Amino acid sequence: MGAFEAVILTIITASTPLLLAAIGELVTERAGVLNLGVEGMMIMGAVCGFAAAYTTGSPIFGVGAGLLGGVGMSLLFAFLTQTLMTSQVATGLALTLLGLGLSGLIGEAFTGLPGVKLGPIDIPFLIDLPFVGSILFGQDILVYFSFALVAIVTYMLFRTRTGLIINAVGGNHHSAHALGYDVVKVRYACIAFGGACSGLAGAYLSLVYTPQWIENMSSGRGWIALALVAFSSWLPRRVLVGAYLFGTVWIMGLYVQALGVAIPAQLLSSLPYLVTITALIMMSGDKTLTKVNTPACIGQPFAPER
């Protein structure tokens, strides 16, 4: 394997959990809901995924359990924000806090155990292609799925009736309601979708990235995913670009160190965050694009009586 392929493979691993979580949150936000609990859903996905895979010995079960863990947390959020109409910002923060604590408690029995790794699915013959073989055709199922998800979500949001409804609910919930759509139900569904994606991202961490359970192993990735959604101006293909941009900057910080370049490690570690902020500014600056795609109702509770 060449040095170039090795770097690309490392970047793919670093970017996939961000991409998965961000694309889910994008759908949630398109429906007008801001769920700041991505970190909490992700970490629950990680612990549930690990626990199930370890107990059953099957990483696929782990993926399923991770997904369900994320959905469970997201439904808690949905119940509070949609049914009880609590503040979305506060509830999202609470979800993160609860997720970090709860996952630690559940995971106590699983610390210090080697996990079951979700292995790559090598596509025969194609994987032997020079240069791109292992990059394009030697990945695990979640990597392939993350790319498929970008395509599916793009198609769904802009080409289908479902997408139309989601955008309508996020754009103006009163008109959507007047048109006869059940705003709350649509939002419940979109929140659950976001939870599922965050759960998958968490499962990716505990089954592929580092196949073991470690407290707080999401280490802030949920927040990065949230930033990526804003950075993307709510466009799925831009989430893809953003996730891979972040992953590249992250890995390059380590890469140049190994080459012997003397830059303080702290500066390299802070680069991804600085790049994210810069990207946020650049994207926010593009007024027309932002205006077209920003869900106008984001963060606002919907009460049909009003």
Partner 1 sequence: MKKLLGLTAVALAMVLVTGVPHAAEKMKVGFIYVGPIGDHGWSYQHDQGRLAIEKELGDQVETVFVEKVSEGPDAERVIERLARQGAGLIFTTSFGFMNPTLKVAKRFPKVKFEHATGFKRAPNVATYNARFYEGRYIIGQAAAKISKSGVAGYIASFPIPEVVMGINAFILGAQTVNPGFKLKVIWVNSWFDPGKEADAAKVLIGQGVDVITQHTDSTAPLQIASEKGVHAFGQATDMIKFAPKAQVTSIVNNWAPYYVARTKAVLDGIWKSEDTWGGLSAGTVQMAPYTNVAADIAKAAKETEAKIRSGALHPFTGPLQKQDGTEFLAAGKVIDDGTLAGMNFYVKGVDGKLPQ
Partner 2 sequence: MKIILEKRIEHSRVMALLSPLLAIAITVVIGGIIFASLGLDPAEALYVYFVEPVTTLWSIEELIVKAAPLVLIGAGLAICYSANVWNIGAEGQLTIGALFGSAIPVYFTTWQSPLTLVVMLVLGGFGGALFAAIPAALKNRFGANEILTSLMLVYVAQLLLDWLVRGPWRDPQGYNFPQSVPFEGWQQLPLLGEGRVHIGAIFAVMAVIVLAIMMGRSLRGFEIRVVGNSPRAGAFAGFHQKRVVWFTFMLSGALAGLAGICEVAGPSGELQPSISPGYGFTAIIVAFLGRLNPIGVLFAGFLLAISYLGGEAAQVELGISDKTAQVFQGMLLFFILACDTMILYRIKIASGRSASAKA
Residues that bind partner 1 (CB under 8 A): 1, 3, 6-7, 9-10, 13-14, 104, 107-108, 111-112, 114, 117, 205, 209-212, 214-215, 217, 219, 250-251, 254-255, 257-260, 262, 264-266, 269
Instruction: State the Cα torsion 55-59-61-65 to the nearest 10°.
Output: 80
CA distance 81 to 84: 6
Smallest distance from partner 1 to CB 152, Å:
27
Token readout for 262 is: 């003397």
CA distance 277 to 282: 9
Smallest distance from partner 2 to CB 128, Å:
41
Q: Residue 197 carries which DSSP code? A: H
Q: Give, in order, the Cα–Cα distances in Å from 4 to each of 7, 12, 196.
A: 5, 13, 33
Choosing from 1, 6, 55, 85, the residue that interacts with partner 2 (CB under 8 A) is: 85
Q: Indicate the residue type of 80.
A: L
CA distance 61 to 95: 24
Q: Indicate the residue type of 39.
A: E
Reduced to 3 states, what is the DSSP secondary structure of residue 168? Answer: helix
Answer with the entry of partner 1, partner 2, none that 147 interacts with (C-beta below 5 to 8 A by kind): none
Q: Indicate the residue type of 281.
A: I
Q: Is the separation of the CB atoms in 149 and 143 below 8 Å?
A: no
Choosing from 1, 6, 105, 179, the residue that interacts with partner 2 (CB under 8 A) is: 105
- When the beta carbons of 12 and 226 are compared against partner 2, the nearer one is 226
> If binding is defined by CB under 8 A, does position 293 make contact with partner 2?
no
Footprint of partner 2 on residues 211-270 (CB under 8 A)? 215, 220, 223, 226-227, 230, 264, 266-267, 269-270
Task: Tell me the β-bridge partners of 213.
Answer: 111
- When the beta carbons of 84 and 258 are compared against partner 1, the nearer one is 258
Smallest distance from partner 2 to CB 294, Å:
9
Interacting residue ranges for partner 2, rule: CB under 8 A: 36, 76, 80, 83-87, 89-91, 93-94, 97-102, 104-105, 108, 182, 215, 220, 223, 226-227, 230, 264, 266-267, 269-270, 273-274, 276-277, 280-281, 284-285, 287, 290, 303-306
